Structure 1
Amino acid sequence: MIKEIEAKSMLSTSKDPSRWFGVKYTFNSYRGCQHQCIYCDSRSECYGIENFDDLIVKINSAELLRKELSSKRKKGTIGTGAMGDPYTPAEKKYELTRKALKVISDYNYPVHLITKSNLVLRDIDILQEINKIYASVAITITTTNDDLARKVEPFASPATDRLKALGVLSKAGIVTSITMMPILPFIEDNEENIINIVNRAAHYGVNHIVPWLGMSLRDRQRAYYYSKLDSMFPGIRKKYEKSFGYKYSCSVNNYKKLSNILQEACNKYNISLKMPSYEHKLSSVQLNLFDKL
């Protein structure tokens, strides 16, 4: 179900930008997500979204964003994609993310996007304009296997298409990253999957991977995820219940081994395991200027 609403506000301010990819301000033009990933933490009760498969469309989001940015005195990175995908399929019709990016460009703010869709390529023209200051796009990749991705992320772009999108963005000079999270225990936590992701990242010019070798698992999120395990991965649910009980944070069972494999593979290609940020770019420029004095 899609419901259009008039939102009252857009921007939220982070008290600790360094914790969330250097993002100072966040906004979401959509509430809920049509990708219907079986593991999504946003189904949890604490976020107050009754049915995450329903999509709330904030049809006045770009106008509100323009109004709020006009009154901001302190510049900072604007981020979107943490609580819903900015390129959910409805974006093809509404173009709210594209309109928001145009506003961000007009006000000369840096931007950081997280998505599971290659639709981001539609807006590469605006991203290149924003990138005169700073533009960063992180695309989530939890597996390079399209068949598996279709099970766990049913309505997201195929994993291979997301990887190709990263390649296009990288060649265009956009800062690109892979958010390799979550890595699902008993499903994606194997050496082959980790190495494949790193190899594909290197092939497409991605210089940053931000991993979570595990997942969150709580209340409504857990119930929904377990129902999907029962239908698509028979027998796996029992392994979760035995290994994790009612824990919120669930690391993969072979965490140390996979962490070492990931680090070694990234070292091979000089891929960083830290997310870049606009503030880091500013610091680097300032240090370079200082060195030249």
Structure 2
Amino acid sequence: MHIVEAKGILSAKNGMNLYRGCSHGCIYCDSRSSVYHMDHDFEDIEIKGNAIELLEAALKRKRSKCMLGTGSMTDPYIPIERKIGNVRKALELAERYGYGFSLITKSDLILRDLDLLKSINEKTKCVIQMTLTTYDEGLCKKIEPNVCTTKVRFEVLKELRRIGIPTVVWLCPILPFINDTEENIKGILNYCSEAEVYGIICFGMGLTLREGSREYFFRQLDHLFPGMKEKYLQTYGMQYQIVSNKNDELMQLFHHTCEKNGIVHDNRKIFEYLSTFETKCDNVQLSLFDKDFAGKSPNGI
């Protein structure tokens, strides 16, 4: 690990990266791509030493409350978070100043912060997004080796549901010839249904490969699935967008299962939900409106 001093912390859309780099070891990780201009080894975690000070200053300056987010580039709950605690400190600031929060993770380390997540959700909105790719536990340990397995993440989703925190699942990536099976998709969707997730984000059955991430992915294929790299090259060449030849049937299964179980599966609607700040006062007013004016037009007719 190494420490840097950052110039800023929040993006234009109020996202943040408290760390850069990751130690989960997922073989498909797009964040390894050279397009992100990371000038250090991916496993050499960059810590923004002044992140929390920058965040507090930014929150104090804001004229209106909003949803804060993290996890799009680096899983916030990498093991070093146990020592550094920047994610917990960021959650404490969000709770103190009345901001909503959403994050993406694969780690059960999030259970450490249930008290803050619950407190934020009681005041505003807290949404936890969790990536699920592989129902088979053995296969999961191969392609996502240094983080908890899908079954453990499923238990986390159920615990979040138990305390009233809404959840969203990222069903991606799906690796052709590896986990693009009906059994895999059904298993993940059954987990999502049982955990009563709000929605599932899915861009199709496949993955993206570009310079930096492609080379790492192919090296891992050689190590874990001998002969698979050649199959990818023969089928897809050096394409950026890798789409399973089972995409149509698996997406049909995905949409049908979500519809049947009342899970939101429109990506646009989910992203709108994730970015919309609300307070519990707003929810109470909406609930009263629904109860008193159900079936009426805005003019009361």
Give me the TM-score of the superposition, normalised by structure 2.
0.88
The answer to whether the aligner puts 1:37 opposite 2:15 as a matched pair is no
Per-residue deviation, 1:245: 1.5
Structure 1 residues 240 and 286, CA, compared in 2 at 3 Å: closer, same or farther?
A: farther
Per-residue deviation, 1:284: 7.9
Per-residue deviation, 1:207: 3.0
Q: What is the aligned partner in structure 1 of residue 77 from structure 2?
A: 87
Q: 1:240, 1:93 → 2: CA distance? A: 40
Q: 2:232, 2:275 → 1: CA distance? A: 39
Q: What is the aligned partner in structure 2 of residue 48 from structure 1?
A: 37
Instruction: Encode CA deviations 1:64-104: one digit per residue, 9 max, x unaligned.
Output: 10011111113221110001010001011111100000001
Per-residue deviation, 1:221: 0.7
Q: 1:230, 1:171 → 2: CA distance? A: 42
Per-residue deviation, 1:56: 0.6
Q: What is the aligned partner in structure 2 of residue 218 from structure 1?
A: 210
Q: Which has the larger radius of gyration?
A: 2
Structure 1 residue identity aligned to 2:8? S
Q: What is the aligned partner in structure 1 of residue 125 from structure 2?
A: 134
Per-residue deviation, 1:5: 2.3
Q: What is the aligned partner in structure 2 of residue 7 from structure 1?
A: 6
8 Å Cα contact 1:206-1:271 kept in structure 2: yes
Q: 1:253 pairs with 245, 262, 284, which one?
A: 245
Alignment of structure 1 residues 102-251 onto 2, 5 Å: 102-131=92-121, 132-212=123-203, 213-251=205-243
8 Å Cα contact 1:110-1:278 kept in structure 2: no
8 Å Cα contact 2:130-2:168 kept in structure 1: yes
Q: 1:42, 1:195 → 2: CA distance? A: 27
Number of aligned residue pairs? 282
Per-residue deviation, 1:205: 2.4
8 Å Cα contact 2:66-2:277 kept in structure 1: no
Structure 2 residue identity aligned to 1:279? T
Instruction: Encode CA deviations 1:160-219: one digit per residue, 9 max, x unaligned.
Output: 111100110011111111111111111111100000001111122223111232111011
Per-residue deviation, 1:60: 2.2
SS of the counterpart of 2:276?
A: helix
8 Å Cα contact 2:125-2:277 kept in structure 1: no
Q: What RMSD in Å do the two structures reach over aligned CA positions?
A: 1.9
Q: 1:130, 1:81 → 2: CA distance? A: 18
Per-residue deviation, 1:289: 6.1
Structure 1 residues 74 and 215, CA, compared in 2 at 3 Å: closer, same or farther?
A: same
Q: 1:57 pairs with 37, 47, 50, which one?
A: 47
8 Å Cα contact 1:59-1:96 kept in structure 2: no
Q: 1:44, 1:278 → 2: CA distance? A: 26
Per-residue deviation, 1:151: 1.0
Per-residue deviation, 1:252: 1.4
SS of the counterpart of 1:37?
A: coil
Structure 1 residues 73 and 158, CA, compared in 2 at 3 Å: closer, same or farther?
A: same
Give me the TM-score of the superposition, normalised by structure 1.
0.91
Alignment identity in percent? 40
Structure 1 stretches of 4+ moved >3 Å: 280-293
Runs of at least 5 residues in structure 2 that lack an aligned partner in the other structure: 294-301
Per-residue deviation, 1:271: 1.5
Per-residue deviation, 1:250: 1.3
Per-residue deviation, 1:223: 0.7
Per-residue deviation, 1:157: 1.3
SS of the counterpart of 1:266?
A: helix
8 Å Cα contact 1:137-1:175 kept in structure 2: yes
Q: 1:284, 1:256 → 2: CA distance? A: 38
Instruction: Encode CA deviations 1:255-275: one digit per residue, 9 max, x unaligned.
Output: 110001111222232212132
Q: 1:203, 1:281 → 2: CA distance? A: 26
Structure 2 residue identity aligned to 1:233? F
